[in-house]
Structure 1
Amino acid sequence: MKEVGVLLGGPQGSGIETSMWILGRILVSKGFGVIADREYFSNITGRHSYILMLVSSVKLPRSLRYPVEILASMDAETVFTHFTELSEGGILIYDVNISSKRIEEIPSMEDATRERIARVLAEKGVKTSVESVVEYLERDRRVLPLGLDFSSLLKALSEQYRIDSRAVSKFLSGVIVSSVAVVLGLGEDIVAAGFRQQFREREELVEQNIMLYRLVRSALSKHYGVVRLEEPRLVMEKVMVVTGNDVVAIGKIVAGVRYQSYYPITPAADESFLLEKYDNILGENGEVIGSVVVMQTEDEIAAVNSAIGAALTGVRSSTTTSGPGFDLMIEGLTWAGMNEVPIVITYYQRGGPSTGQPTRGSQSDLFNAIFAGHGEFARVVLSSGDHLDAFYDTIEAFNIAEKYQVPVIHLLDKFLANTVTVITIPDVERVRIERGVLTRGGPGYKRFSLESLISPRAFIGGKDTVMWYTGDEHDEYGHIVEDPEVRARMYSKRIEKLSLILRDLPMDRKLRLHGPSSPDYLIIGWGSVKGVVLDAVEYFSEKGLKMSYLDLKLLWPFPSEDFLKITNGIPDSNILAVEHSYGVNIAELVAMNTGRRIVKRVSKYTGRPITLDELIHGLEEIVSGKKERVVLSRGA
């Protein structure tokens, strides 16, 4: 087969994420394309966590799908939660010691989830034990159950290396990695290389996990390579295996960021954690060329204000947050807008409102990013559709912020942040750093000069340079004024930068059309829906239906003229919008700015990613004329 879907599940804190990283690196090193999404509860240990992964021998995957060919479970909750997502003829890897476990006996499972699964079991005539589920899968779905005695495997490892019984449970992730590797026919050498990459400079852990692989391979000797992936045909030289958080952090280093503030919040904090790992930034010859000061502040108010302070000194500065934290930053955002401060806010959306779903994804904060704050002022909102986009867009965000002296919001989401994928190494040769018009200031310096839309920017602390900053309206020097003429000129000057930005930015940085320019159907969207929509477009194109995707990258100021030019000749009835929200707000933004009414919409707001199978089905419902709006809900 050309691709294999894999689902790994177990309790939060049991090493599921580690399993994902090791397997991902093993597969990529062998030449396969990999994408994996991490889904988890908002707790430290105990609640159900799982990885949905797609492995391809022919391409770098852009989206995920159900059903999966391999379900590897650490516990009974994984079996109950995901047994319906296992394909006919698939593989179930499970611990034989949980066979008698009943769904009623799982304390970590939410009552609503237990009741929903119990209904499904009753409809299928299956009793509420793991053993009954396994029998059903084997009998009715032709699934091959591979039961392993996890306790015996770990006991043998413990005896071999005299590992304390309280510490041996950390090797559960090794059992999962080894069992999936065995059924995929991955040999010891390449599996060992994956363990070495994960456990650098901890050779004892590598040796112990290799021993565990041998034990698992012996137990599953009859089923080695039972899932046959075609030999990889990808041409990959230098690639990176990264999350969205990782690639944005890397983009900030390349962009020249020297100050980053944050208050820990999911799913934004991992970006700052990566930046904190590096004391120095090295040049091509290994020389130290700078460092990033990363500050964990007491709250998001302090985070945005300290980023503003850093920007006033002349360094490229940013802060990172999610929805609840962004809400607290709004007064600082408006202050930056009033004072033309070039800061970047990296905004990772998650499920809301309020605390909502701290560890689940969403695109429902579109209007919050565009319109939050009192008064009118210029801000720019950028979105990224995939990991490689996120790298270049991060740099673009700082260029726009400094060139036009506006706050820029880089709008991402949990799906991109927590998805691991393979990307080609970004081409730093195409990176351009644009800092805008800078001046040394000096006597008589007018920080907010009205001579042009872009003010002459000097940094605080310059010799013989005096400047004033205030939250109130001000004159060219920064002094507080309420004169109506000055107010009108200053107010309009700040806002009219938006027209300048729209005029200056090239088309492909505002929106990008993927597919034919005169399609039968045009899908519009933004952000992380890009990959799954492109795969759906490819599917329908192979079926003979011309379909294109318009990826909206510049969300504010909205590129109305460019949008109308691209969509000219396509009737509203043939345009569809896809978004992770209830309202599919991008359609409302289009209507507000262009007058075009897009009523056909695909929506998902469960907090789980849109998968290819459900999107194809939803689009078929709309294209066939059965529905105008489809709500997706697949995924546990």
Structure 2
Amino acid sequence: MINNLQWKIGGEAGYGIMSAGEIFGKACSKAGLYAFAPNDSPSLSRGGSNTFTIRIHEKPIAAYLSKSNLLVALNQETVQLYKKELTEKSGIIYDESIQLNQDDFKNTNLFPVPLNKFAQEYGEAAVMRNTVALGASFGLLKLDFKFLEEVIKEIFAQKPQVIEPNLKAAQAGYDFFKEKEFNFKLEPKESKNHLFLSGNHALALGAIKAGLKFAPIYPITPINPLLAYLAQKSKDYNFIVETPEDEISGILMAIGGSHAGVRTMVATSGAGFSLMTESLSLAGITETPLVILYGQRAGPATGMPTKTEQSDLLFINHAAHGEFPRIIVAPGDIQECYHETLRAFQLAEKYQLPVFVLTDKYLNESIQTTQLKSDIQTKKESFASELSPDFKRYAFTSTGISPRSIPGQENGLFDANSDEHDEYGYSSADPDIRVKMVKKRFQKLETLQPELPQPVLYGDSKARTTIISWGSTKGAILEAMEKFQGVNFLQIQYLAPFPDIIQLIQNKKIIVIENNKTGQLAELIKQHALIKPDFKINKYDGFQFTADEIEEGLKKCL
């Protein structure tokens, strides 16, 4: 089989398993192929079993499969743990010191290689084995060594002294298997200068492109790589990254920065956001722009902090006391992470409200071959330039959008007040003013509706069965859907305000697919469209759906 492979490497945590996987994916991307890797790292620094799975194809992909074709085992435990997850005619690359009996692997090819010997010859054995294994994989798969060489040089550009030993180790592994036959091969395609990056990096790049100036973020899984990347790039792009003492301080600092006139955001997950809810309400009543990147993980409480889930949709849809408008967008892939983060800053500033970019651990940490393109303009919404002495920060308008001033601006003084207030910001308990202010704030949702993208329908619009989902299930659904006729897929990106989907789904057999127990999108569909889904496919074991799992689920519904 050519250009259709799932590769897995496993070994003890702390010995470069993740790095090896990323190098493999980058090298394949340079060869013009598409790579997708669900980064499912355990909560381990050292010891225990760690793996990295990556899927390679000649067409764009955004999902992985339940079984792999080639397993690289850096220790005996990896073989025992994952031999059942191999397809027929698969292969295992392992050190020759590991004793395996071919009779125990009737449908699997065994490829022993002197990993430790080559590693000791060219460097430190424990950390160089993965480099030898990378070379061995490329040799066995018959993909030109130059792609691996190019990535190794890039990865170690800041440590030139280790480039040559790594290249020699990789070359030794490559030469050992370059004449060996295997059922799977990789052939280069025309290079398209694609990027190989994670959802966290795409979110960060979208924020930077949008003009981010202040990011007070308290560390939490799964947004820590985003925080680290922003800190790394802050000087290059002239913005400030602050690590506050807690999440409450973080969101209040962000609200303060936005009040001062700069684009700000926070990034968090369930436990961290739970602390932010009172302050979110402050942003709502003061009409302060705020972008919140929210990466879901398996809860409740600490739950499974390194596992994924889509269980917080209803929570953030109603979080914080009182009623105020908000926008929730759930990107479905890494390209959308970039694109919708860009749009989130535009919407937050223009309509002066909180905007959530809702992802999950799977999407945040998965790595994919992609291109970052966007037609979103990064135009900064202008503040009122000439203010009269009678400036009304919360003036009643037909759109619900009132003029903003920058602190210190002539005639721009107003009371930024957490109490209900009049047009000047002064506290008011007048019932007429209260009603007008609530209506004013919610008028924004009607004003912004034409600007929000509508749900995307994939497949035949006349299909009798419609799959509905949101967020990171997109890639697996699109792939599984190809196996069926008469089925389409409705991806709902903007979940608040909830779109009008009645015309798209009425008189259809409805299947809602979600990575949670209770079917939270299904509840929103019943609430807003008054349609009860015919079937729900749910998963909540800490892992995202694979394409073949969704295929099996659909077979039971159709």
Instruction: Answer yes or no: same fold by TM over 0.5.
Output: yes
1:632 alignment partner in structure 2: none
**Structure 2 CA distance for aligned equivalents of residues 135 and 470 of structure 1:** 75
Matches within 5 A, 1:513-524: 513-524=457-468
Amino acid at match of 2:133: I
Matches within 5 A, 1:50-65: 50-57=51-58, 59-65=59-65
Contact persistence 1:443–1:466 (CA under 8 A): no
**Structure 2 CA distance for aligned equivalents of residues 257 and 237 of structure 1:** 29
Aligned length: 555
**Structure 2 CA distance for aligned equivalents of residues 12 and 603 of structure 1:** 31
1:455 counterpart (393, 398, 402): 402
2:511 counterpart (557, 576, 591): 576
Contact persistence 1:185–1:226 (CA under 8 A): no
Instruction: Find the residue that maps to 2:436 and give its secondary structure.
Output: helix
Moved over 6 A (4+): none
User: Alpha-carbon deviation of 1:30?
Assistant: 1.2
User: Alpha-carbon deviation of 1:499?
Assistant: 2.5
User: Alpha-carbon deviation of 1:222?
Assistant: 4.8
Instruction: Find the residue that maps to 2:254 and give its secondary structure.
Output: helix
Instruction: Find the residue that maps to 1:569 and give its secondary structure.
Output: coil
User: Alpha-carbon deviation of 1:554?
Assistant: 0.8
Matches within 5 A, 1:120-269: 131=100, 135-137=103-105, 139=106, 142-158=107-123, 167-220=124-177, 222-223=179-180, 226-229=182-185, 231-233=187-189, 236-269=191-224
Contact persistence 1:344–1:401 (CA under 8 A): yes
1:634 alignment partner in structure 2: none
TM-score normalised to structure 2 length: 0.95
**Structure 2 CA distance for aligned equivalents of residues 398 and 51 of structure 1:** 34
Change (3 A) 1:207 1:460: same
User: Alpha-carbon deviation of 1:226?
Assistant: 2.4
Q: Does 1:446 align with 2:392?
A: yes
User: Alpha-carbon deviation of 1:280?
Assistant: 4.3
2:434 alignment partner in structure 1: 487
2:414 counterpart (467, 472, 490): 467
Deviations 1:479-506 (A, max 9, x none): 122222222221222123222222x225
1:310 alignment partner in structure 2: 257
2:341 alignment partner in structure 1: 394
**Structure 2 CA distance for aligned equivalents of residues 226 and 584 of structure 1:** 43
Matches within 5 A, 1:62-77: 62-77=62-77
Q: Does 1:529 align with 2:485?
A: no
Deviations 1:567-595 (A, max 9, x none): 2332xxx1101111112211111001111
Which shifted more, 209-218 or 582-591?
209-218
**Structure 2 CA distance for aligned equivalents of residues 154 and 232 of structure 1:** 28
2:531 alignment partner in structure 1: 596
**Structure 2 CA distance for aligned equivalents of residues 401 and 435 of structure 1:** 11
Contact persistence 1:351–1:362 (CA under 8 A): yes
1:13 alignment partner in structure 2: 14
1:497 alignment partner in structure 2: 444
**Structure 1 CA distance for aligned equivalents of residues 281 and 80 of structure 2:** 49
User: Alpha-carbon deviation of 1:435?
Assistant: 4.2
Deviations 1:56-91 (A, max 9, x none): 13x011211132110112223322221111111110
State the identity %: 29
User: Alpha-carbon deviation of 1:230?
Assistant: 5.4
**Structure 2 CA distance for aligned equivalents of residues 416 and 93 of structure 1:** 29
TM-score normalised to structure 1 length: 0.84
1:114 alignment partner in structure 2: none
**Structure 1 CA distance for aligned equivalents of residues 406 and 77 of structure 2:** 57
Amino acid at match of 1:21: E
- What are the ranges of 5 or more consecutive residues in structure 1 without an aligned counterpart? 100-130, 159-166, 282-289, 624-636
Deviations 1:195-242 (A, max 9, x none): 11211132222211111123323544552x524435345x54332111
User: Alpha-carbon deviation of 1:318?
Assistant: 0.5
1:274 alignment partner in structure 2: 229
Change (3 A) 1:621 1:407: same
2:545 alignment partner in structure 1: 610
1:28 alignment partner in structure 2: 29
User: Alpha-carbon deviation of 1:442?
Assistant: 4.8
Contact persistence 1:322–1:347 (CA under 8 A): yes
Contact persistence 2:480–2:550 (CA under 8 A): yes
**Structure 2 CA distance for aligned equivalents of residues 327 and 230 of structure 1:** 47
- What are the ranges of 5 or more consecutive residues in structure 2 without an aligned counterpart? none
User: Alpha-carbon deviation of 1:274?
Assistant: 1.2
Instruction: Find the residue that maps to 1:39 and give its secondary structure.
Output: coil
**Structure 2 CA distance for aligned equivalents of residues 449 and 598 of structure 1:** 43
Amino acid at match of 2:454: K
Matches within 5 A, 1:111-126: none
**Structure 2 CA distance for aligned equivalents of residues 438 and 537 of structure 1:** 47
User: Alpha-carbon deviation of 1:383?
Assistant: 0.8
Contact persistence 1:351–1:360 (CA under 8 A): yes
Deviations 1:580-613 (A, max 9, x none): 1112211111001111001401111111121111
**Structure 1 CA distance for aligned equivalents of residues 212 and 238 of structure 2:** 9
Deviations 1:141-174 (A, max 9, x none): x21112234332222224xxxxxxxx54222321
Matches within 5 A, 1:316-395: 316-395=263-342
**Structure 1 CA distance for aligned equivalents of residues 347 and 520 of structure 2:** 25
**Structure 2 CA distance for aligned equivalents of residues 330 and 423 of structure 1:** 34
Deviations 1:337-393 (A, max 9, x none): 011011000001111111111111111111111111111111111110111111111
**Structure 2 CA distance for aligned equivalents of residues 407 and 265 of structure 1:** 21
Amino acid at match of 1:569: N
Amino acid at match of 2:165: Q
**Structure 1 CA distance for aligned equivalents of residues 173 and 232 of structure 2:** 35
Contact persistence 1:297–1:303 (CA under 8 A): yes
Instruction: Find the residue that maps to 2:39 and give its secondary structure.
Output: strand
Contact persistence 1:347–1:410 (CA under 8 A): yes
Instruction: Find the residue that maps to 2:233 and give its secondary structure.
Output: coil
Contact persistence 1:380–1:409 (CA under 8 A): yes
Deviations 1:488-539 (A, max 9, x none): 221222123222222x225xx1311111111121000011111111111222
Deviations 1:461-481 (A, max 9, x none): 223321111222111111122
Which shifted more, 479-488 or 589-598?
479-488
**Structure 1 CA distance for aligned equivalents of residues 397 and 186 of structure 2:** 65
Contact persistence 1:575–1:600 (CA under 8 A): yes
2:364 counterpart (404, 417, 436): 417
Amino acid at match of 1:156: E
**Structure 1 CA distance for aligned equivalents of residues 57 and 178 of structure 2:** 24
User: Alpha-carbon deviation of 1:436?
Assistant: 4.3
